[in-house]
Structures are given as structure tokens and as C-alpha cells.
Amino acid sequence: MKNTKSKKSPTILIIAAASFVMLLTATIALFLSVEDFSRLFSVSNFTCVGDVYFHDGSTRYAAVKNSDGLISVDYVNPESNNYIKNLRVDVKYSGYGVGLIRVRVAEEWSRTSEGIKTVLPNTVNMPYTIASPYGASTGNQKKWFDNRDSDQCFYYATPVYSSSGTAVTIPLITDFDADEIDLGAISSSSALNIAVEVDAVQVNRYPQFWGINALPWANALSGINEGIAA
């Protein structure tokens, strides 16, 4: 007489495996959501904006962008509202989060003939007067480090936070030293336009967002930060 062995249905195993996969997926999704939320939350606790304008010593004039999104600057007529010596650039930083700040200042020289614009080569760093230039000593300083030879940027040479949580103005460009460059040798038919871009990142995220492996000023310490008073 043959013994008939009963075969167990695979349904129970399939259901158990499916339940495990669903539980694992839900758990992974939960952790990813929490991680993403934390990242977004930590990024949003400071703001940094640029304030570009012209000031002749008594009156402030707004910087007007042209159709290319650039700011027109007059380097010929000292009586113009947008004369180059009147250019001012400030950074406004607020929030308790610690951030690193850099400002890119780029000049475009061009000529237009018969409706065709030709951009001219520019290899000279414009002699702007910087409010607080980085000193000869090394290490972090609440001053601007001129790195334009490498990437057209000024770096505020220390991670900062707003000690009051309110917006704090950090002056960058306060004047222009016309004696350092012969603007008269430049053809008056050339137009000068500038672009100013203010950028701030979390102190531990500059390699990802700025694409640099090290901060450019000597002996920079990204783990040491200072408050800026209102």
C-alpha cells in the first residue's frame, strides 16, 4: 500500500515573503523621509542675499539689470548715477544656522556694432575697495578673502551665524580705486556690465555645492564659527 504524502501549499510562504518585503520597503521609506526632512530643515535655518546698488555719498541709486541680467556700469562719466566708483555690494545674512559665504563678481566688457554684440577678453581683476580685506595672518577671519584669480569669488573667511537671528549687513565693495587702472585707455565705445552672485552653504556642504575640496584661505577651519552682531 502506497503512502501518500501531502504537499504543503506555497501560498503561506509567498504571503510571508511579500509581507516581509512590504515591511522592509516601508521601513526604508520611513528612514529616507526622516533623513530628507532633517536635511531640508537644517538648510532652511539661514538666509543670505546680496544687495547691489550705487551711492554717490549722498544718494542711493538702484542697480538696474539689462536684458542679459547684467548690471550696467559707467566707467567714463563721474556724474553718472551708475559710475563705477559709486558701486556698492553688501551681503545680508540672517538666521541661527552656520553658513559659509562667497560672492562672485564678474565683469563683461563688450562692444556693439550694427546690432551685434562682441564680448571682449578680460584678464584684469578690477581694483574694488573691499570693506574688510583678509589680512596677512593665516586662519579664520571675519574678513573677505580675494580668490578671484581662481574662481572670480570673494570668500568671507570664517563660518558665521547671526547671533541675534535678525538680518545683518556685511559690506563687501565700498569704493573703486581708479588710480590702480587706466580706464582712460579703454575705448569709450566699450560697455561694462557686471554680474554679482551671492552664495551661502552649510558649513559641511561646501565640497558638494562649491566643487572645492578645501576652503581657499590659509589654515581654514570649517569647524570653528563666529557670530555676527546685528
Is residue 113 a contact partner of residue 208, using CB atoms and an 8 Å limit? no
- The count of domains in the chain is 1
Is 209 strand, coil or helix?
Answer: helix
Range of the domain at 126: 47-226
What is residue 37's three-state secondary structure? Answer: helix
* Pairwise CA distance, residues 73 & 54, whole Å: 10
- AA letter at 146: D
Residue-wise pLDDT tens digits, 173-201: 999 998 888 776 676 778 899 999 999 99
195: in domain: yes
In a domain, 95, yes or no: yes
Q: pLDDT confidence of 122, banded at 50, 70, 90?
A: confident
pTM of the predicted model, to two decimals? Answer: 0.77
β-pairing, 153-156 with 144-146? antiparallel
Stretch 16-40: mean pLDDT: 37
Residue 104 lies in a domain: yes
pLDDT digits (tens, 9 = 90+) for 90-108: 999 998 889 999 999 999 9
- Give domain status of residue 35, yes or no: no
Cα atoms in the Cβ-side hemisphere of radius 13 Å centred on 92: 6
